[in-house]
Structure 1
Amino acid sequence: MLYLILSVLVSASLIFIFKLFQKFNIHTFQAIVINYMVCVVVGLCFPGGADVLQPEIFTRTWAYFAMALGTIFILTFYLMALTTQKVGVTATSVAAKISLVIPVLFSLLVLKTSLKEYTLVNYVGMVAALAAIVMTSIRPRKNSQVKTSTAVALLLPLIIFLNSGIADSLINYTNQHHLQPDEAGQFTMLTFATSAGVGGLVLLYQLVILRSAFSRRSILAGIVLGVPNYFSIFFLILALSAFGNDGAFLYPVNNIGIILVGALGAVIFFHEKLSRLNLLGIGVAILALLLISYQEIIAYLN
């Protein structure tokens, strides 16, 4: 249970840090690039982390999937930062965590692997998940400090929803067809390294060609973001092991926790004004996750 709580708290803190970037006028993209470099450095401190530096890594069939995933990761991370600043903490956390609908459907329709028979209740939960994104994304207009059009407020969370779901589906596919259990650490490290590499190239283009200024504050901000970003995955893996690798139970519970902590933190620390529709959306998000995984929850409780 301790690792689950730590996973929830560390994951929610990432979205809070994005909000602080806005408050302290941090260059978001620069900090995100530094963040992935920090993830690589932290990973190198663990046994086997340096294996990703060996050229032989690219002989693995999963290497190119890891690089594709790393590219998606940095794009999604930047969109999460943008959405947090333009729409709010609550909408971002809901969109990112409710995206488990996509890998679930991918497993059912494409991979055709499932540990259970999906019922009407499960599919109702998936529809409710989409409704939750819309309800939490529509911001109160009167008290909003950042003026964002309704179209943008809806589009950004939906893109995060799709990108996060595609990333999880890609992990699912790679794990089933290409990855061996003892290669998980190398796969994660190559993913982070790719995110750092892609981000570094874009940042170099901005600095050299576009002559953008580099902010030294981005280094500290990237460290502050990178350490919890690495441990968000680290604690999630430990939590999975603690719960017998029962991801069908753990992921919904973990995501519900992040949505609740995100919403609570948004109100307490950032004074986000949540309308009745937003609050209803949070409730629908929790209900959606419960409906999607009610069989596993009942089985675990019994």
Structure 2
Amino acid sequence: MLYLVLCVLFNALLVFIFKLFQRYRVQTFQAIVVNYWICLVTGALFDQTALPIMAQNVGSPWMLSSWVLGSLFIGSFYLIALTTQRIGVSAATVAMKISLVIPVLFSLLVLQNTLKEYTFLNYMGIALALVAIVFTSRRKQEPAAAPMGVMAWALPLVVFLAAGLGDVIINYTNDQWLQPEQAGAFTISTFTASAVIGALALGYQALVQKTKIEVKSAVAGIGLGIPNFFSIFFLIKALSAFNNDGAFLYPINNICIILLGTFGGILFFKERLSGTNWLGLLLAVLALVLLSYQEIQQAF
């Protein structure tokens, strides 16, 4: 349970940091590239066995998987930014969050690592979690966007698939190939791929497109990198703690991140919620109860 709580806290912290990016007009892509290099440093300092483990496992299945995941990470960030600009914030947020249906189905149908026998109420909780995410993500005001033709649904669909595939890779790799002591090495290896690809892309922008690298964006990337490392590290640890039961973990993890992020937005950023948003929060709480009612019964 501790790993799940830590995973939620660090992911919610990422939400707050991205809100600050928007407020201070940070160049998000530049900050993201720097963030991946900070992830490497953070991981190496936090787990000093990680680099030797990586050296011993060059070419292993989990290391190849980590590089696929790292490539997907930075590609997904670009797609999310593009969707936000072309379609809108809500479309990008909803597509990213409801992608949990992909690892949930994968866990139930393929891995079948369930900690308990799922009942109708549990499945109702998963369905309500998806509805709650859509409702809490809706906002009245959207940035100016002019979706044209197939772009209006194609970009959110690609974000949905990319985000879901990333969670599936983490779940499958942790289930099939990773040992508990390799969590730090896998996380660092993943961010290495993202850092290398990001640096190449940023170098192209600077040299060919003459994009100016901003100091404040680099500083922002430092602040992003530390919690970003731990958000993935503790997700892997939480999956192991819950027997890689992604059908249970992913909905609860996402719902708790949304609840904490929403209330943090109200408290620290003076955000206002619509009636639909409040309904989404109520559904989120109900979804948590339905997903974990067996554990609640055992506790009492």
Q: What is the CA distance between 1:183 and its match in structure 2?
A: 2.4
**Residue 89 of structure 2 corresponds to residue 87 of structure 1:** yes
**Residue 230 of structure 2 corresponds to residue 231 of structure 1:** yes
Contact 2:97–2:133 (8 Å) recurs in 1: no
Please give the alpha-carbon distance, in whole angstroms, between the structure 1 residues aligned to 2:104 and 2:269: 33
What is the aligned length?
A: 293
Opposite residue 137 of structure 1, the aligned amino acid is S
Please give the alpha-carbon distance, in whole angstroms, between the structure 2 residues aligned to 1:297 and 1:202: 48
* Matched residue, 2:164: 165
Contact 2:53–2:182 (8 Å) recurs in 1: no
Please give the alpha-carbon distance, in whole angstroms, between the structure 2 residues aligned to 1:225 and 1:288: 30
Please give the alpha-carbon distance, in whole angstroms, between the structure 1 residues aligned to 2:104 and 2:3: 24
Please give the alpha-carbon distance, in whole angstroms, between the structure 1 residues aligned to 2:259 and 2:27: 28
Please give the alpha-carbon distance, in whole angstroms, between the structure 2 residues aligned to 1:32 and 1:52: 26
Please give the alpha-carbon distance, in whole angstroms, between the structure 2 residues aligned to 1:150 and 1:78: 17
Contact 2:126–2:251 (8 Å) recurs in 1: no
Contact 1:138–1:153 (8 Å) recurs in 2: no
* Matched residue, 1:280: 279
Q: What is the CA distance between 1:211 and its match in structure 2?
A: 2.1
Contact 2:50–2:182 (8 Å) recurs in 1: no
Query: Which secondary structure state, in structure 2, belongs to the residue aligned with residue 59 of structure 1?
Result: coil
What runs of 5+ residues in structure 1 fail to find an aligned partner? Answer: none
Distance of aligned partners of 1:2 and 1:165 in 2 relative to their CA distance in 1, 3 Å threshold:
same
Q: How does 1:77-156 map to 2 (within 5 A)?
A: 77-78=77-78, 87=89, 92=93, 99-140=99-140, 144=141, 146-147=143-144
* Matched residue, 1:258: 257
**Residue 191 of structure 2 corresponds to residue 192 of structure 1:** yes
* Matched residue, 1:49: 50
Please give the alpha-carbon distance, in whole angstroms, between the structure 2 residues aligned to 1:239 and 1:155: 32
Query: Which secondary structure state, in structure 2, belongs to the residue aligned with residue 25 of structure 1?
Result: coil
Please give the alpha-carbon distance, in whole angstroms, between the structure 2 residues aligned to 1:108 and 1:224: 36
Root mean square deviation, CA, Å: 3.5
Superposed CA deviations along residues 199-233 of structure 1, whole A, max 9, x for unmatched, are 11211222222222211222101001111212334
Q: What is the CA distance between 1:30 and its match in structure 2?
A: 0.6
Contact 2:174–2:244 (8 Å) recurs in 1: no
Contact 1:207–1:213 (8 Å) recurs in 2: yes
Opposite residue 165 of structure 1, the aligned amino acid is G
Distance of aligned partners of 1:182 and 1:7 in 2 relative to their CA distance in 1, 3 Å threshold:
closer
Query: Which secondary structure state, in structure 1, belongs to the residue aligned with residue 58 of structure 2?
Result: helix
Q: How does 1:288-299 map to 2 (within 5 A)?
A: 288-299=287-298
Q: What is the CA distance between 1:150 and its match in structure 2?
A: 9.3
Distance of aligned partners of 1:69 and 1:240 in 2 relative to their CA distance in 1, 3 Å threshold:
closer
Contact 1:138–1:150 (8 Å) recurs in 2: no
Please give the alpha-carbon distance, in whole angstroms, between the structure 1 residues aligned to 2:154 and 2:263: 24
Contact 1:37–1:196 (8 Å) recurs in 2: yes
Please give the alpha-carbon distance, in whole angstroms, between the structure 2 residues aligned to 1:251 and 1:41: 27
Query: Which secondary structure state, in structure 1, belongs to the residue aligned with residue 231 of structure 2?
Result: helix
Please give the alpha-carbon distance, in whole angstroms, between the structure 2 residues aligned to 1:295 and 1:210: 56
Distance of aligned partners of 1:96 and 1:296 in 2 relative to their CA distance in 1, 3 Å threshold:
farther
Opposite residue 26 of structure 1, the aligned amino acid is V
Identity of aligned pairs, percent?
A: 52
Contact 2:71–2:197 (8 Å) recurs in 1: yes
Contact 1:99–1:162 (8 Å) recurs in 2: yes
Q: What TM-score results when the alignment is normalised by the length of structure 1?
A: 0.79
* Matched residue, 1:74: 74
Q: What TM-score results when the alignment is normalised by the length of structure 2?
A: 0.80
What runs of 5+ residues in structure 2 fail to find an aligned partner? Answer: none
Query: Which secondary structure state, in structure 1, belongs to the residue aligned with residue 15 of structure 2?
Result: helix
Bigger drift between 168-177 and 247-256 goes to 247-256
